[in-house]
Amino acid sequence: MLPLQKNTHRGRERHGEEEREKQMFGLCLMEASDKHAGLPASRLTPDSGFDPPHQSDTRTIYVANRFPQHGHYIPQRFADNRIISSKYTVWNFVPKNLFEQFRRIANFYFLIIFLVQLMIDTPTSPVTSGLPLFFVITVTAIKQGYEDWLRHKADNEVNGAPVFVVRSGSLVQTRSKNIRVGDIVRVAKDETFPADLALLSSDRADGTCHITTASLDGETNLKTNFSVAETAVCQSVSQLEALQAVVECQQPDADLYRFVGRITVTQHGEEIVRALGQENLLLRGARLKNTKEIFGVAIYTGMESKMALNYKCKSQKRSAVEKSMNTFLLIYLGILLFEAVLSTILKYAWQAEDKWDEPFYNQKTEQERNSSPILKFISDFLAFLVLYNFIIPISLYVTVEMQKFLGSFFIGWDLDLYHEESDQKAQVNTSDLNEELGQVEYVFTDKTGTLTENEMHFRECSINGVKYREVNGKLAPEGMTDDSPDGSTPHLTGDELLFLQAVALCHTVQISYDQPDCPVGGGDPFSHANGFSSSHMEYYASSPDEKALVEAAKRIGVAFTRCSGETMEIKTFGKSEKYKLLHLLEFDADRRRMSVILQTPSGGKVLFTKGAESAILPFTTSGEIEKTRLHVDEFALKGLRTLVVACRHFSPEEYIDVEKHLNAARTALQQREEKLQEAFAYIERDLQLLGATGVEDKLQDKVQETIEALRLAGIKVWVLTGDKHETAVSVSLSCGHFHRTMNILELLQQRSDNECAEQLRRLDRRIKEDHVIQHGLVVDGASLSLALREHEKLFMEVCKNCSAVLCCRMAPLQKAKVVRLFKTSPEKPITLAIGDGANDVSMIQEAHVGIGIMGKEGRQAVRNSDYAIARFKFLAKLLLVHGHFYYIRIATLVQYFFYKNVCFITPQFLYQFFCLFSQQTLYDSVYLTLYNICFTSLPILVYSLFEQLVHPHVLQNKPGLYRDISKNSLLSFRTFLYWTLLGFLHAFIFFFGSYILMGEDTTLMGNGQVWPFLHTQDMYFVFVQLLSSGSAWFAIIIIIITCLFPDVVKKVFYRHLQPTSTQTSQMYSNRVAIGDDFIALQPLSRAKSQLGKIR
């Protein structure tokens, strides 16, 4: 919105400030060094051999690694410049991966079962548990190894990038990973910095350079960095080679905005000490802009760079399906233990009779007769546990992981989620949350750059109480058209000209020339309409608003054309005017305004200031204050972003007083920030109001339709923004978040807890009284803080009864707090956060599902998100179609896995009643092994990747279908119980159906041959022989029909009497699909009429 960064034009106070800062930084560093090294400050010189230990507060860096030549010096050890984002190495992959996999309950359980099979005599071979376990572990290890290989590959690309380093008097090309602390590195225009560098010099005479830190903090504005005067002159390799300098600074920390250090330069035997601050440090990952080349000394390298220290391990997000899955596993573990205990007890009950305890055909050995009954009971219990252990589906985890991993490709392949203009497709950063897209109940969205384009266009302004619009590059009062002939110089009044000069000068905009070889001073590249041409010049601004205003002033005729050192130049209709920048009063979030103090061409001193209307209007004493206030409110109601512009002319005496206050504050060694705030407040008063500006941030395409679709799907949408509430409400109305018929409630400007509580109670009563109509709530950041502090439950009650909520003037952490508030509420709804800037990262990481917009505010949000899309409109298909499909597929997959294992192992349990609980297995070992691995896993995996219950177009056109799967309905306990009972029913039918149909028929093979496997207990060729028998086929068909009949009857009954919306739409989509196929074969005229009938 307003500049947050210091500008190149620091003003005359810079040198005086440096002299005092160096003393403060130097004293801090010396005290820290003395404390750890035990050396007096007077002896702390670059050549004293001082080497603070690594755990000290400081590090000493010799520029170009020119170490002291005496023998006492031992160089400090620093990290190399390799970036490591991978998890494993070749040496630790196997132990580390195995440790992580066996932390899973199911894997650890099967490992125990496998070990039990090895240790005691069990009815099944250890291979039956060991092989599936080996398969699951191997597949998971391959997947995780592949993902880590991709990370290694990305690391190698970064670490192997070519860089230029000054070594042995020449510029040497090497790889990024070979940079050492102390190396002098050369970086060219548009390259990223390979390490954290202290700027030594640039191709500019003043030693400054411009950078963008979009990849670090999401800010796309151009920032200015400085070098100290003693190194700024070293612009060649030979000069840098001769440079003798030592940098002392703090140890690395993660704070991007803090750096404390000093540089000692030795010139002609004299040591010159200069302070180093954040403006001298070039951070790794930032990009050099608008500067041909720079030289810097490496301060922090590799994993000690500030970017690496800001790598945040995102907390592991677990989907609702995974939580349900773990619950079901515990229930089935209970069933397993129950069956094992029951079988063990029944075995001993049965063996109470002597004839069954030791029958003639199975005499006990002496050791068995003398063994401990307790040990035998435990051994039998473990044997039954092994026999029934396949009720726990071992391959469930690996199949689910494969389904999620392979299924995630469909998002990237979806052409409907591809944005052609920016050539960006949807991106999946984690596949673990695919099904969560189908369970979202709350969407928390940013406004700027997410609902809007973040492309600012100047629309209107108010000058001295009169509203103006831009018409054909000229200012026209409201209601008037521009009738002046093209090419003529427009006439501006004094007020209009002063206003445009303020807009053209009060900023931190930088200029880049597209043709650097074209001399700016020689010739006049600005000869066009209004005296300018934009072909050679491009503005880099601290915010899109600022850039839009400077460009608008240029189009109208007052162009900012050059900034160098302390000089700012503008051209008013071709006439050049030079202003001297005396002081820059930087923007900060508390003041919410920024100012410049200039010396005009005539020698006068003037202050121009701009900021939010609440930060400017209270300090104005002249001008059309009330009219401008009305105009600002009108601009805000139209959805425009507003700024107010004012000025103050100083007399010579007043300016001397102002400079005294500023210098005193800027050179203070203690409480400098507070004193600067007091000085700024003293200067920015008694202002003359010049006017206000209105800049439009255009809505993204199809935002209104997307929000409406989400609302119809039962999803509540919250907009969280930092804008003022009038602008935010206007945008909410224009994008359909608020309806015109909606009753808008406000919780704004609450000053105390009691006042906030009373207002919340009033809103609650009003909602209950007017429960028929829809309500929308507007909250500002200050009121929200009060509401969350003491009245959380009441606030939640009000919010839940509102159809839409808008939070304005929100800080980034407040956004995350709101999301956490709903995540942890008793209902525990599934939340989704979507944003495009670094200020949205905390909210994106806090929500169950985080979505980044590939916008204009850097890639921070995208990198920290679970999914990334190019436009907000793609959210509808991502949730309503992909989310719907993913949830139904994974829910069916999970339920089927438990069902099939119940079907498989229950006959084993029933068989024990027919074999005196002798722990005989019903299945061959090979069949036991392959049942879970491929016989039943692969078909359901294919189903769970491609199944589409309803046509995607129907899901998108009927958002209400999303409600059918909400609140994890397909994995509810009732549904789980139905699938489990169905499994037991089918198992009984399998077992007793086979027993009844085939149990008495020993001549089943049709050729008089008895069962072929009775002699060997092997099942080789059994299926081949069975399936050549007509009676076997008859039995299979009868059993299958008997199993499916109850389920089919139930489904038909419910579909006709109580159909869900999805089932109704299935019939509709089938009609449309059949109709489309039929229509495709008709002549064009007949096809149109057929289509009309079906639609």
The residues annotated with a catalytic role in the active site are 446
What percent of the residues of the chain are helix, what percent strand, and what percent coil, each to the nearest 5?
Answer: 50, 20, 35
Tokens (6 digits) for 818? 């709101």
Distances (CA, A) of 863 to 213, 417, 859: 15, 18, 6
- Report the C-alpha gap between 432 and 879 in whole angstroms: 15
- Among 427, 436, 530, which residue's Cα sits nearest to residue 475? 530
- 834 φ, ψ (degrees, to nearest 5): -135, 130
Distance from C-alpha of 667 to C-alpha of 660, rounded to nearest angstrom: 11
Q: Do the Cβ atoms of 890 and 905 come closer than 8 Å? A: no
113 — phi, psi (to 5°)? Answer: -60, -40
* Cα gap 481→1082, rounded to integer Å: 56
Amino acid at 567: T
> What is the longest distance spanned by two Cα atoms in the chain?
124
Rounded Cα–Cα distance for residues 968 and 977 (Å): 15
- Enter the tokens of residue 124: 């099944």
Place of tokens 């949350």: 433
Q: Which amino acid is at 962?
A: Y
**Would you say 136 and 109 are in contact if contact means Cβ atoms under 8 Å apart?**
no
Answer whether 945's CB lies under 8 Å from 403's CB. yes
Instruction: Point out which residues pair with 186 in neighbouring strands.
Output: 164, 295
Instruction: For residue 579, give the H/E element and its range.
Output: strand 575-585
| CB crowding 1064-1087: b at 16 or more within 10 Å, else e | ebbeebeebeeeeeebeeeeeeee
Half-sphere exposure of 478 (CA within 13 A, CB side): 10
CA distance linking residue 118 with residue 111, whole number of Å: 11
The C-alpha atoms of residue 735 and residue 732 are separated, in whole angstroms, by: 5
DSSP 54: T
- The CA-atom distances, in angstroms, between 528 and each of 74, 483, 489, 522, 555 are 64, 20, 11, 17, 10
Give the Cα separation of 578 and 230 in Å (integer): 29
Q: Please name the helix (run of DSSP H) or strand (run of DSSP E) that holds residue 907, with its range, or none.
A: helix 884-911
Are the beta carbons of 1035 and 998 closer than 8 angstroms? Answer: yes
Distance CA 22, CA 976 (A): 70
Helical spans, DSSP H, in 967-1029: 973-998, 1022-1026
Residue 256, phi then psi, degrees to nearest 5: -70, -20
> Is residue 306 a contact partner of residue 252, using CB atoms and an 8 Å limit?
yes
The torsion angles phi and psi of 476, rounded to 5 degrees, stand at -130, 125
Helix (H) or strand (E) holding 1073: helix 1061-1080
Q: How many angstroms separate the CA atoms of 215 and 72, rounded? A: 43
Looking at 667-773, list the stretches that DSSP marks H as alpha helix, in order from N- to C-terminal side: 672-683, 703-712, 725-734, 753-769
One-letter amino acid of 423: D
Separation in Å, CA 1078 to CA 569, 1067, 1083, 1088: 72, 16, 11, 12
